[in-house]
C-alpha cells in the first residue's frame, strides 16, 4: 500500500464507524464544500482544502519524504522526536504513524469536537444544549493548543526523511463503535461492577490491568445500577464540557464510559449522580488503533508498535 491508500483506508473506516452514520458525515462535507465555493479567491488561498474530503481535522498526512510502497510501519500513541530517532535506529521503517494529533491536525483538533454534540443528541441531550455547552469548550481547546509547538515532530521527520501521519478520531471512532456494539450486545450489565468486569475481558484492558492501568470507577460505585450506559466520551477529540453531566442525567443517562477524566468533570458527574467508568487512556487508544492495524496486517504490512501502544491482533481470530 502507498501512504495515500493507508490514509484513505483510515478515513473510510472512521466514517463507517462514525456514530452519526455515513450519510450524515457526507452531508457535513457537502455543507463545507458549499461554504468554500462562496469564498473569495483570497480567502480560498488559505483555506485547508483537505477538510472538504476528510471530516476528521485531527487525522492527516503530515510529511511525505518519499512516496513509496509501505511494507513496515512504526506506530505509537504519541510520536515525538524521540520516536523519529527510534525509527532511524530500528531501520527499514517506511512510515511512522502517531495516534495523537501533530502539526495542523493538533492545531485544528477542536474542529472534530462537533461530533460530540451529535453523539450527545443521539443519547437524548437536546442539540441546542449540547451545542451551547460544547461551543465554550471547543473555543477553550482551540486556545489551549494554540500555544503548542505543533511542528516539532514533523520538522524532525522532515530532517530525517521519514513519512509521517497521524490518525486520531478515525481510530477513536473504531474504539467507540467496538465498545458500543459489545456493551449493547450484553444484557447482563446491571451494576457498574458488572460493566467494569466486562471491560476487563477485552484484551487491551486485560493487559492494562497488569501495569496498573485497568478499567476503574471514577464516579459512583460497583453496587450502583448502570441505568442507560452511554459511550459519549470515547471519541470526539478530547473531553467535553463538565456542565454536560447534569444535562446527560436529565436525558436519562446513568453511566458513561470514557478514556480519561479531569477532577472537575469527575465532581460534576458525582453531583449529577452519573456513574463514570474510566476504561483507560492508552488501552482505549490502543483498542481503536489495533482495529485499524488489523486491516493493514491483512494487507501484508508489518507493524512495529511503540510509545504506549499495546498491539493486539484480531486477524487470526476471524
Ligand atoms: Fe488519546
Q: Return the pLDDT at 62.
A: 98
Distance in angstroms (rounded) separating the CA atoms of residues 8 and 153 = 22
Residues lining ligand 1 (ion), CB within 5 A? 285
Q: Return the pLDDT at 318.
A: 52
- 34 C-alpha vs ligand 1 centroid, how far in Å? 32
Are 171 and 286 a contacting pair, CB within 8 Å? no
- 171 C-alpha vs ligand 1 centroid, how far in Å? 10
Q: Return the pLDDT at 103.
A: 96
For residue 70 the three cell numbers come to 509501505
- 260 C-alpha vs ligand 1 centroid, how far in Å? 9
- 2 C-alpha vs ligand 1 centroid, how far in Å? 26
For residue 251 the three cell numbers come to 436525558
Q: Return the pLDDT at 316.
A: 81
In the DSSP assignment, the letter for residue 62 is E
- 281 C-alpha vs ligand 1 centroid, how far in Å? 6
Are 21 and 300 a contacting pair, CB within 8 Å? no
What are the beta bridge partners of residue 219? 276
Distance in angstroms (rounded) separating the CA atoms of residues 318 and 316 = 6
- 259 C-alpha vs ligand 1 centroid, how far in Å? 7
- 285 C-alpha vs ligand 1 centroid, how far in Å? 5
Distance in angstroms (rounded) separating the CA atoms of residues 245 and 226 = 15
* pLDDT tens for each residue of the chain, 318 residues long: 999 999 999 999 999 999 999 999 999 999 999 999 999 999 999 999 999 999 999 999 999 999 999 999 999 999 999 999 999 999 999 999 999 999 999 999 988 899 999 999 999 999 999 999 999 999 999 998 888 999 999 999 999 999 999 999 999 999 999 999 999 999 899 999 999 999 999 999 999 999 999 999 999 999 999 999 999 999 988 888 999 999 999 999 999 999 999 999 999 999 999 999 999 999 999 999 999 999 999 999 999 999 999 999 999 865
Is 0.85 surpassed by the pTM of this model? Answer: yes
- 43 C-alpha vs ligand 1 centroid, how far in Å? 33
Distance in angstroms (rounded) separating the CA atoms of residues 227 and 254 = 5
What lies within 8 Å, CB to CB, of 48 at 6+ separation is 104, 108
For residue 218 the three cell numbers come to 471514577
Amino acid at each position: 500500500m502507498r501512504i495515500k491508500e493507508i490514509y484513505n483506508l483510515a478515513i473510510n473506516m472512521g466514517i463507517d464507524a462514525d456514530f452519526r452514520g455515513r450519510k450524515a458525515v457526507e452531508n457535513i462535507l457537502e455543507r463545507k464544500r458549499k461554504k468554500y465555493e462562496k469564498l473569495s479567491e483570497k480567502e480560498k488561498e488559505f483555506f485547508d482544502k483537505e477538510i472538504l474530503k476528510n471530516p476528521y481535522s485531527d487525522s492527516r498526512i503530515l510529511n511525505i519524504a518519499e512516496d513509496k510502497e509501505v511494507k513496515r510501519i512504526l506506530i505509537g500513541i504519541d510520536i515525538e522526536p524521540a520516536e523519529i530517532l527510534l525509527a532511524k535506529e530500528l531501520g527499514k521503517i517506511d512510515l511512522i504513524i502517531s495516534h495523537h494529533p501533530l502539526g495542523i491536525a493538533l492545531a485544528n483538533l477542536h474542529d472534530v469536537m462537533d461530533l460530540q454534540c451529535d453523539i450527545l443528541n443521539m443519547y437524548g441531550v437536546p442539540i441546542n444544549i449540547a451545542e451551547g455547552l460544547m461551543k465554550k469548550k471547543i473555543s477553550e481547546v482551540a486556545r489551549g493548543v494554540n500555544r503548542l509547538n505543533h511542528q516539532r515532530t514533523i520538522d524532525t521527520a522532515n530532517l530525517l526523511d521519514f513519512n509521517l501521519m497521524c490518525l486520531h478520531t478515525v481510530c477513536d471512532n473504531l474504539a467507540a463503535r467496538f465498545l458500543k456494539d459489545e456493551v449493547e450486545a450484553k444484557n447482563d450489565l446491571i451494576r457498574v461492577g458488572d460493566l467494569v468486569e466486562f471491560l476487563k475481558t477485552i484484551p487491551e484492558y486485560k493487559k492494562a490491568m497488569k501495569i496498573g492501568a485497568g478499567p476503574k470507577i471514577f464516579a459512583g460505585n460497583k453496587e450502583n445500577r448502570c441505568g442507560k450506559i452511554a459511550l459519549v466520551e470515547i471519541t470526539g477529540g478530547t473531553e467535553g464540557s463538565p456542565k454536560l453531566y447534569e444535562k446527560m442525567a436529565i436525558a436519562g443517562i446513568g453511566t458513561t464510559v470514557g478514556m480519561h477524566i479531569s477532577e472537575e468533570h469527575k465532581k460534576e458527574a458525582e453531583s449529577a449522580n452519573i456513574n463514570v467508568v474510566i476504561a483507560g487512556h492508552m488501552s482505549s487508544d490502543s483498542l481503536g488503533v489495533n482495529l485499524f492495524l488489523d486491516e493493514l496486517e491483512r494487507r501484508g504490512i508489518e507493524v512495529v508498535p511503540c510509545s504506549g501502544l499495546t498491539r493486539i491482533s484480531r486477524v487470526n481470530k476471524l
